[in-house]
Structure 1
């Protein structure tokens, strides 16, 4: 413990003696920190939640989604897709804004929530961050609309076909009911008409059930397009640089370098004194930190 106390005292004396070097080093680091904070462009972060669209008319066992989750994640990272997003947002691909968009994009899949994709990206302005997030969702939505167009058209055509068949079956049932009524309660014609009416009623029931089921699967609960689940959220303040953290790091680094500068200056001073003493033929005094018990 005695050596540590002596060492701390000697260090403090060095810092006091070389205070000009301490202050110079500290001010230099603080000046660099100030210049960094006032020259670096601030960055805002946008967060968006994208829901993958689906057409719920796929065969049993098949994924009704426009694309599987992993394929969507891969698509979002393709250069061609990102180039389309930048064009949609009105940005030139070879700019620092475009480079920041590519570098800062982060994707977090949520397979058990839709699935959903949490998208975060950064831009040099809050409006631009929101615009890029919207453009990313819109570009993906346009691609999925093209993918879903054919199965959706087939499903609606099938629904129209079921409705037409149902109308025809209802008209036949009305005709058979009139035939049964005109034939009376006995006779071969009445029996035949009754059997045909019963068969037509069963067919109408099946058609109504199929129409109702297909219409339900095409409703907004089960068939929907790729879209943003909620509006894009943009950070209220720049996420980079963090001014408090940068200033704290600058102060800590400045104090450290100030101490190192003072110790280095003291070592140079002692070395110069030792060389001067040797030239005069005088034995130099040992440093205070070399005391022995």
Structure 2
């Protein structure tokens, strides 16, 4: 088998040497086409954004505190309407080539344990790619802010109601203390009422503290970029090294094929009767 392979390679080399004009000609044409493609192909850059999904810290126990579930957020990002809103926000026509590239290049990866959606988009310049990634986060922030408006309003109303109840309880306690006449039976009743009022005040203060704690940035925050958008320094398409490598392989293959075809044609003519 090794001898057969060696003979085959020697024969192939002889064919290439004999038909060197065809081999070099076809090879140069393929290489030239590869270089022309690299020169004229429209370059693309890719931007990566890490979007942190907002959450409301006072969600009921057992419920997802996020403003929107990860799966619904991914579906939202993939809708044509959402993508059109992103394009319009940066002044890109929805039927422009830039819009088609934005839609076709969007890649979404869920990182639920990190509370992050990883997003990749492309543009015909590094600036365009970065702008589209930031615009996607901005439009998503606006959509989630609208969803969170009702629960956040409810939380503010609840906190205001607790503050009002706490104020009333404190004023009632002060009145009880001020109205104590000092008589034994009256003092006992007053002490009982004050103790009850103190318990109510402590409960309301605990409730208010819990509501205030849940509104701290650790528990309640808006959808936003977790880190700055990253854009590759070099274009991601076309890949110069990869394209040249494929072009050289294609040139060698097609040039060899052309040399073999020319040799076969020449041999056929020599064997054909005059």
TM over 0.5: yes
Q: Is the 8 A contact 1:42 1:241 kept in 2?
A: yes
For 1:271, what is the secondary structure of its paired residue? helix
Length-normalised TM-score, structure 1: 0.90
Length-normalised TM-score, structure 2: 0.96
Deviation, structure 1 residue 260: 1.0
Q: Is the 8 A contact 1:130 1:232 kept in 2?
A: yes
Q: Per the alignment, do residues 244 and 209 of structure 1 end up closer, same or farther by CA in structure 2, a change over 3 Å counting?
A: same
d(CA) in 2 for partners of 1:206 and 1:131? 50
Deviations 1:44-101 (A, max 9, x none): 1111111111112222222222111111111111111111010011100001100000
Q: Is the 8 A contact 1:179 1:190 kept in 2?
A: no
For 2:171, what is the secondary structure of its paired residue? helix
d(CA) in 2 for partners of 1:2 and 1:65? 69
d(CA) in 2 for partners of 1:82 and 1:228? 18
d(CA) in 2 for partners of 1:129 and 1:78? 19
List aligned pairs for 1:180-259, cutoff 5 A: 180=180, 183-184=181-182, 186-259=183-256
Range 160-169 or range 97-106, more displaced: 160-169
Count of residue correspondences:
273
Deviation, structure 1 residue 2: 3.9
Q: Where does residue 103 of structure 1 map in the other structure? A: 104
d(CA) in 2 for partners of 1:2 and 1:66? 71
Q: Is the 8 A contact 1:173 1:200 kept in 2?
A: yes
Q: Where does residue 24 of structure 1 map in the other structure? A: 25
For 1:119, what is the secondary structure of its paired residue? strand
Range 50-59 or range 95-104, more displaced: 50-59
Q: Per the alignment, do residues 3 and 210 of structure 1 end up closer, same or farther by CA in structure 2, a change over 3 Å counting?
A: closer
Range 265-274 or range 1-10, more displaced: 1-10
Q: Where does residue 66 of structure 1 map in the other structure? A: 67
d(CA) in 2 for partners of 1:2 and 1:165? 98
Residue 34, structure 1, aligned to residue 32, structure 2: no
For 1:236, what is the secondary structure of its paired residue? coil
Q: Is the 8 A contact 1:47 1:120 kept in 2?
A: yes
d(CA) in 2 for partners of 1:97 and 1:7? 51
Residue 132, structure 1, aligned to residue 132, structure 2: yes
Q: Per the alignment, do residues 197 and 4 of structure 1 end up closer, same or farther by CA in structure 2, a change over 3 Å counting?
A: closer
Q: Where does residue 266 of structure 2 map in the other structure? A: 269
d(CA) in 1 for partners of 2:249 and 2:150? 63
Deviation, structure 1 residue 268: 0.7
Which structure 2 residue ranges, 5 or more long, are not aligned?
A: none
Deviation, structure 1 residue 215: 0.6
Q: Where does residue 122 of structure 2 map in the other structure? A: 122
For 1:65, what is the secondary structure of its paired residue? coil
Structure number with greater Rg is 1
